[in-house]
Amino acid sequence: TLVSIYLSPVNFKLLIFIKILGNTFLAMVTFFVSFFMAKLLFNTKFIIYYPYLFCFALLMTIICFLIISMFFSYLLTISRKTGLYMNLLEIPIIYFCGLAFPVNILPYQIQIIGKIFPITYSIKLIRMSLKIEPVNVSFDIIFKLFVTLLLFVCLFVVVSKMFDSKINIQGNLEMY
Protein backbone atom coordinates (compact mmCIF):
# COMPACT_ATOMS: atom_id res chain seq x y z
CA THR A 1 0.00 0.00 0.00
CA LEU A 2 1.01 3.63 -0.28
CA VAL A 3 1.35 3.85 3.50
CA SER A 4 3.88 1.02 3.69
CA ILE A 5 5.80 2.43 0.78
CA TYR A 6 5.91 5.92 2.25
CA LEU A 7 7.14 4.66 5.62
CA SER A 8 9.96 2.57 4.13
CA PRO A 9 13.52 3.94 4.39
CA VAL A 10 13.89 4.06 0.59
CA ASN A 11 13.03 7.16 -1.47
CA PHE A 12 9.23 7.40 -1.81
CA LYS A 13 9.30 8.77 -5.36
CA LEU A 14 11.55 5.96 -6.56
CA LEU A 15 9.45 3.26 -4.93
CA ILE A 16 6.20 4.68 -6.28
CA PHE A 17 7.73 5.01 -9.75
CA ILE A 18 8.90 1.37 -9.75
CA LYS A 19 5.54 0.18 -8.41
CA ILE A 20 3.65 2.13 -11.07
CA LEU A 21 6.06 0.98 -13.79
CA GLY A 22 5.51 -2.65 -12.80
CA ASN A 23 1.73 -2.24 -12.78
CA THR A 24 1.86 -0.47 -16.15
CA PHE A 25 3.83 -3.27 -17.77
CA LEU A 26 1.54 -5.85 -16.19
CA ALA A 27 -1.40 -4.01 -17.77
CA MET A 28 0.44 -3.98 -21.10
CA VAL A 29 0.74 -7.77 -20.94
CA THR A 30 -3.04 -8.05 -20.58
CA PHE A 31 -3.39 -5.62 -23.49
CA PHE A 32 -1.36 -7.87 -25.77
CA VAL A 33 -2.99 -11.05 -24.44
CA SER A 34 -6.39 -9.56 -25.33
CA PHE A 35 -5.29 -8.96 -28.91
CA PHE A 36 -3.76 -12.43 -29.12
CA MET A 37 -6.96 -14.06 -27.83
CA ALA A 38 -9.10 -12.00 -30.22
CA LYS A 39 -6.93 -13.25 -33.07
CA LEU A 40 -6.97 -16.83 -31.83
CA LEU A 41 -10.65 -17.15 -30.94
CA PHE A 42 -12.33 -14.84 -33.42
CA ASN A 43 -9.73 -14.65 -36.20
CA THR A 44 -9.69 -10.87 -35.84
CA LYS A 45 -7.23 -9.03 -38.04
CA PHE A 46 -4.89 -6.75 -36.17
CA ILE A 47 -2.89 -4.68 -38.61
CA ILE A 48 -0.59 -1.89 -37.53
CA TYR A 49 -0.62 0.33 -40.61
CA TYR A 50 1.89 2.81 -39.20
CA PRO A 51 4.29 0.89 -36.92
CA TYR A 52 6.47 3.93 -36.07
CA LEU A 53 3.45 5.95 -35.08
CA PHE A 54 2.11 3.00 -33.08
CA CYS A 55 5.40 2.56 -31.18
CA PHE A 56 5.65 6.30 -30.50
CA ALA A 57 2.04 6.48 -29.34
CA LEU A 58 2.39 3.38 -27.15
CA LEU A 59 5.54 4.78 -25.55
CA MET A 60 3.82 8.12 -24.96
CA THR A 61 0.80 6.34 -23.47
CA ILE A 62 3.04 4.51 -21.00
CA ILE A 63 4.78 7.78 -20.09
CA CYS A 64 1.41 9.50 -19.67
CA PHE A 65 0.15 6.77 -17.37
CA LEU A 66 3.36 6.94 -15.33
CA ILE A 67 3.18 10.70 -14.86
CA ILE A 68 -0.54 10.80 -14.10
CA SER A 69 -0.20 7.87 -11.71
CA MET A 70 2.65 9.59 -9.86
CA PHE A 71 0.54 12.74 -9.60
CA PHE A 72 -2.49 10.92 -8.23
CA SER A 73 -0.44 8.72 -5.91
CA TYR A 74 0.76 11.84 -4.11
CA LEU A 75 -2.72 13.29 -3.95
CA LEU A 76 -4.13 10.06 -2.53
CA THR A 77 -1.34 9.29 -0.07
CA ILE A 78 -2.66 11.61 2.63
CA SER A 79 -6.22 10.32 2.50
CA ARG A 80 -7.74 7.45 4.46
CA LYS A 81 -10.17 6.82 1.61
CA THR A 82 -7.60 6.01 -1.05
CA GLY A 83 -9.48 2.98 -2.40
CA LEU A 84 -12.67 4.97 -2.83
CA TYR A 85 -10.92 7.82 -4.61
CA MET A 86 -9.00 5.45 -6.87
CA ASN A 87 -12.26 3.90 -8.04
CA LEU A 88 -13.87 7.32 -8.48
CA LEU A 89 -10.96 8.49 -10.66
CA GLU A 90 -10.23 5.37 -12.68
CA ILE A 91 -13.52 4.88 -14.54
CA PRO A 92 -14.03 8.52 -15.57
CA ILE A 93 -10.47 8.73 -16.85
CA ILE A 94 -11.04 5.57 -18.91
CA TYR A 95 -14.15 7.10 -20.47
CA PHE A 96 -12.97 10.70 -20.80
CA CYS A 97 -9.65 9.79 -22.46
CA GLY A 98 -10.99 7.49 -25.15
CA LEU A 99 -9.80 4.18 -23.79
CA ALA A 100 -13.28 2.65 -23.89
CA PHE A 101 -14.55 4.42 -27.03
CA PRO A 102 -13.57 7.44 -29.13
CA VAL A 103 -13.74 10.77 -27.36
CA ASN A 104 -15.46 12.47 -30.29
CA ILE A 105 -18.71 10.55 -29.67
CA LEU A 106 -19.00 11.97 -26.14
CA PRO A 107 -20.93 15.16 -25.35
CA TYR A 108 -18.93 18.33 -25.92
CA GLN A 109 -18.58 19.14 -22.19
CA ILE A 110 -17.05 15.74 -21.50
CA GLN A 111 -14.73 16.10 -24.50
CA ILE A 112 -13.35 19.25 -22.88
CA ILE A 113 -12.60 17.32 -19.67
CA GLY A 114 -10.89 14.59 -21.70
CA LYS A 115 -8.65 17.11 -23.45
CA ILE A 116 -7.04 17.95 -20.10
CA PHE A 117 -5.40 14.51 -19.99
CA PRO A 118 -2.44 13.68 -22.25
CA ILE A 119 -3.66 10.08 -22.55
CA THR A 120 -6.46 11.37 -24.79
CA TYR A 121 -3.96 12.40 -27.45
CA SER A 122 -1.75 9.32 -27.20
CA ILE A 123 -4.81 7.06 -27.56
CA LYS A 124 -5.87 9.12 -30.57
CA LEU A 125 -2.45 8.47 -32.12
CA ILE A 126 -2.78 4.74 -31.43
CA ARG A 127 -6.19 4.72 -33.12
CA MET A 128 -4.69 6.53 -36.10
CA SER A 129 -1.82 4.06 -36.37
CA LEU A 130 -4.37 1.24 -36.56
CA LYS A 131 -6.61 3.23 -38.96
CA ILE A 132 -9.47 3.12 -36.46
CA GLU A 133 -9.67 6.89 -36.83
CA PRO A 134 -8.87 8.87 -39.97
CA VAL A 135 -5.14 9.34 -40.27
CA ASN A 136 -4.43 13.03 -40.09
CA VAL A 137 -1.46 13.01 -37.77
CA SER A 138 -0.69 16.63 -37.33
CA PHE A 139 1.77 18.35 -35.13
CA ASP A 140 -1.27 19.82 -33.40
CA ILE A 141 -2.08 16.47 -31.75
CA ILE A 142 1.55 15.83 -30.83
CA PHE A 143 1.89 19.40 -29.54
CA LYS A 144 -1.22 19.00 -27.35
CA LEU A 145 0.12 15.68 -26.10
CA PHE A 146 3.41 17.24 -25.02
CA VAL A 147 1.82 20.37 -23.55
CA THR A 148 -0.67 18.40 -21.43
CA LEU A 149 2.07 15.96 -20.41
CA LEU A 150 4.31 18.86 -19.40
CA LEU A 151 1.40 20.33 -17.44
CA PHE A 152 1.02 17.09 -15.46
CA VAL A 153 4.79 16.93 -14.87
CA CYS A 154 4.70 20.47 -13.46
CA LEU A 155 1.64 19.63 -11.37
CA PHE A 156 3.41 16.54 -10.06
CA VAL A 157 6.51 18.51 -9.06
CA VAL A 158 4.44 21.14 -7.26
CA VAL A 159 2.16 18.60 -5.58
CA SER A 160 5.01 16.32 -4.55
CA LYS A 161 6.89 19.15 -2.84
CA MET A 162 3.75 20.48 -1.21
CA PHE A 163 2.57 17.09 0.02
CA ASP A 164 6.00 15.86 1.16
CA SER A 165 6.05 18.60 3.77
CA LYS A 166 2.34 18.14 4.59
CA ILE A 167 2.70 14.35 4.97
CA ASN A 168 5.71 14.77 7.26
CA ILE A 169 3.86 17.29 9.45
CA GLN A 170 0.22 16.10 9.56
CA GLY A 171 -0.01 13.12 7.26
CA ASN A 172 -2.95 10.84 7.69
CA LEU A 173 -1.42 7.57 6.56
CA GLU A 174 -4.22 5.16 7.46
CA MET A 175 -2.40 4.08 10.60
CA TYR A 176 -5.59 3.78 12.64
CA distances from 115 to 88, 124, 144, 172 (A): 19, 11, 9, 32
pLDDT tens, position by position, 102-146: 888 889 988 899 999 999 999 999 988 888 777 776 788 999 999
Least confident of 8-22, 26-40, 93-107, 139-153: 8-22
CB 70 within 8 A of CB 11: no
Q: What is the DSSP letter of 104?
A: G
Nearest-angstrom CA–CA distance, 114 and 104: 10
pLDDT tens, position by position, 42-62: 988 888 888 999 999 999 999
Distant-in-sequence, close-in-space partners of 50: CB < 8 Å, separation ≥ 6? 128, 129, 135, 137
Half-sphere exposure (Cβ direction) of 41: Cα atoms closer than 13 Å: 6
CB 67 within 8 A of CB 156: yes
pLDDT score at 63:
94
Mean pLDDT of the chain: 83
Q: What is the pTM of this model?
A: 0.82
pLDDT score at 118:
94
User: For residue 71, what pLDDT band results from cuts at 50, 70 and 90?
Assistant: confident
Average pLDDT over residues 65-79: 81
